[in-house]
Amino acid sequence: MVSKRLTAYQYLLKDKLAGDKNRELIALLKDIKLAARQVSKELNSAGLNKILGDHGGLKNVHGEKVKKLDIIANDLFLNSLENGGNCAGVVSEEIEKSLIFNNEVSKNSKYIILIDPLDGSSNIDVNVPVGTIFSIFKRSSMKTSISTKGFLQKGNKQVAAGYIIYGSSTIYVLTVGKGVDAFTLDPVVQEFYLSHKNIKIPKKGRMYSVNQGNFYEFPRALQEYIRWCEQEDIKSGRPYSLRYVGSMVADIHRSLLKGGLFIYSKSKRAPNGKLRLMYECNPMAFIIEQAGGLAINGEKRILDIVPETIHQKSPIFIGSAEMVKLISKFIKSKQFN
Ligand code: FBP
């Protein structure tokens, strides 16, 4: 019996990105899938190949220790994107400056990409799901060569965004602005097949996700929201369950499928939070909004933030629409600084 499953490529070609004008974007997404398969393979046997642990004492532009697998993932994505010839430049969490591809093919590409090659670094060595997050824009002009400024576009200008979660399965979640679909990697055929079509995030959930270890650093509005989640109230289904993996991709993926609210707030130690607007918050906000959820920074819609720098941070409250609306009420009515 021949399987009628559709690969990610076939599904996009037939459905979400039908038509010749999208061929270059489909090809760019293929380059991303190639690197994702390579990263998945490296992660699956990392313990056997001495690639766990820190990369010497190296620190990235955020002052965070860099893992060997951060570098391996970064190299695999850059290699596939540069040699694929379907993107003109990249901003990566692991590189301080933007990288412009000047080879004959790439320089005429109309797309640029911002990427977190391996999200959830603190979980890499302990076999807890980690991921890759990416955000794709069109170049603001084909007449001029691109510069770092060309990457500083509002999130509502994204043409595609996605993540790959390397967990018990390797799953690739994608939006091209027409809803959200997910594709699961068949490890034998090494192909991503459509497994979840037109995903809708539940309007309401019973799980909240926050690093509660920072509780006393949080604004009072958030402290009060967390206390509210813990209180017993049959009618509203409280107490809610606290679920925090510590990999944004894993915490967002659970919220997308089961409903819930993911929070990485500002705090006394981190006045702008920790997560990066351009390659963590923006792509996740585009995906969750396309699935029917919401994403704010505490004051405004993440996708409406005007970016100033490529590695800037932003607080984020993202997930089921009713839960984001409620925490937004807490923030408006209580002290949030
Ligand atoms: P990177 O690993 O890409 O730097 O990502 C940041 C991250 O690991 C997120 O995945 C996660 O949500 C958050 O940091 C966890 O931070 P903390 O340990 O402060 O709770």
- Asked whether residue 290 carries a pLDDT value surpassing 70, the answer given is yes
> Which atom of ligand 1 is the closest one to the Cα of 119?
3
Mutate to test the pocket of ligand 1, among 67, 247, 253, 268 (most ligand atoms within 8 A of CB): 247
Which residues does 45 contact at the CB level (< 8 Å), separation at least 6? Answer: none
Q: How would you class 198 by CB atoms within 10 Å of its CB: exposed for 0-12, middle for 13-18, buried for 19 or more?
A: exposed
The whole model's pTM is what?
Answer: 0.97
What is the reported pLDDT for 143?
A: 85
Half-sphere exposure of 182 (CA within 13 A, CB side): 20
- Asked whether residue 184 carries a pLDDT value surpassing 80, the answer given is yes
What is the reported pLDDT for 15?
A: 93
> Which atom of ligand 1 is the closest one to the Cα of 116?
3
What is the reported pLDDT for 1?
A: 62
Please state the rounded mean pLDDT for residues 274-287: 98
- pLDDT band for 112, please (50, 70, 90 cuts): very high
Q: Which of 57-71, 276-290, 293-307 has the lowest mean pLDDT?
A: 57-71
How many whole angstroms from 266 Cα to the centroid of ligand 1? 14
Burial 8-39 (b: 16+ CB within 10 A, else e): bbebbbeebbeeeebebbbbbbebbbbbbbbb
How many whole angstroms from 333 Cα to the centroid of ligand 1? 28
- Asked whether residue 56 carries a pLDDT value surpassing 90, the answer given is no
Q: What is the pLDDT of residues 269-278, one digit of tens each?
A: 999 999 999 9
How many whole angstroms from 247 Cα to the centroid of ligand 1? 6
Residues with C-beta less than 6 Å from any ligand 1 atom? 64, 93, 116, 119-122, 211, 246-248, 264, 274
What is the reported pLDDT for 335?
A: 67
> Which atom of ligand 1 is the closest one to the Cα of 62?
4
Q: What is the pLDDT of residues 148-177, one digit of tens each?
A: 999 999 999 999 999 999 999 999 999 999
> Which atom of ligand 1 is the closest one to the Cα of 64?
4
The continuous run of DSSP H or E covering 73 comes out as helix 68-84
- Asked whether residue 192 carries a pLDDT value surpassing 70, the answer given is yes
Q: What is the pLDDT of residues 16-50, one digit of tens each?
A: 999 889 999 999 999 999 999 999 999 999 999 99
Residue whose Cα lies nearest atom 15 of ligand 1: it is 246
